[in-house]
Amino acid sequence: MEFEKFTGKTLEEALQKAAQAKQAAVENLTYTIVEEKAGFLGIGKTVEIEVYCDKDIQKFIHDYIQNYFDNAKLDGETVVEKDGDDFYRVTVNTSNNAILIGRNGKTLQAFNRLVKAAASGAFKRRVRLLIDVNGYKQDRYEKICRMAVRVAKDVRRTKVDAALDPMPADERKAIHNALAKMADISTHSEGEGANRHLCILYTPGKEVE
């Protein structure tokens, strides 16, 4: 992916031009110096930089998904919003939700990894994102959290730890947050890759805020 280039007599001047063009603060720009020309006796000195900002990442994610829809001849509307440092929430509305979500969300999980890898590769940095299709993820969080609460109550009653089925990081986090304030219960993740899962542990005397 090629980034926009800006030139100035100094780095500061080039960054100011980029900030004005992208309507972003200088501190929110990521840049690489492409070329520096010293000029003759300091006259004609220039600095050329490649620059991108959060809006460029959002546009890349949006266009990547929309191109997928166009190539697959699927309808879809995509909205990308930044939520925290290097994290982007992607909302997709489509009539083909079953195709994109797949059984138990496996297709959506794979698509999420694909888009994340593409964005991270394009910008040469770790880009975290979460794609939700027609509100599936929110419904999924509510469902698995209810299940986890039931399991946690059994763990507290029997004093026997339990391991849940493997699930992606965002779902494990949702359960962790749901059980964080439950007395005598703690959680942690185990396993690697597709086998990574959450364990619900009996932790007597755990302090709750």
Question: What is the model's pLDDT at position 86?
Answer: 78
DSSP label of 182: S
Question: What is the model's pLDDT at position 1?
Answer: 74
Question: What is the model's pLDDT at position 40?
Answer: 60
Instruction: Render pLDDT for 104-156 as a digit per residue (tens, 0 to 9).
Output: 888 999 999 999 999 999 999 999 999 999 999 999 999 999 999 999 999 99
DSSP label of 3: P
Of the candidates 19, 16, 18, the one whose C-alpha atom is nearest the C-alpha of residue 6 is: 18
Rounded mean pLDDT of 68-85? 88
For the cut 70, the answer to whether the pLDDT of residue 50 exceeds it is yes
The whole-angstrom separation of Cα 82 and Cα 78 is 13
For the cut 70, the answer to whether the pLDDT of residue 41 exceeds it is no
Of the candidates 129, 98, 133, the one whose C-alpha atom is nearest the C-alpha of residue 116 is: 129
Residue 74's pLDDT band (boundaries 50, 70, 90)? confident
For the cut 80, the answer to whether the pLDDT of residue 7 exceeds it is yes
Phi–psi pair at 40, nearest 5 degrees: -110, 115
Measured in whole angstroms, how far is the alpha carbon of residue 188 from the centre of its chain?
A: 21
**Is pLDDT larger for residue 53 or for residue 96?**
53
Percent of the chain with pLDDT over 70: 96
| Segments of 38-96 assigned E as strands | 46-52, 77-82, 87-93
* Average pLDDT of the residues of the chain: 91
The whole-angstrom separation of Cα 94 and Cα 108 is 13
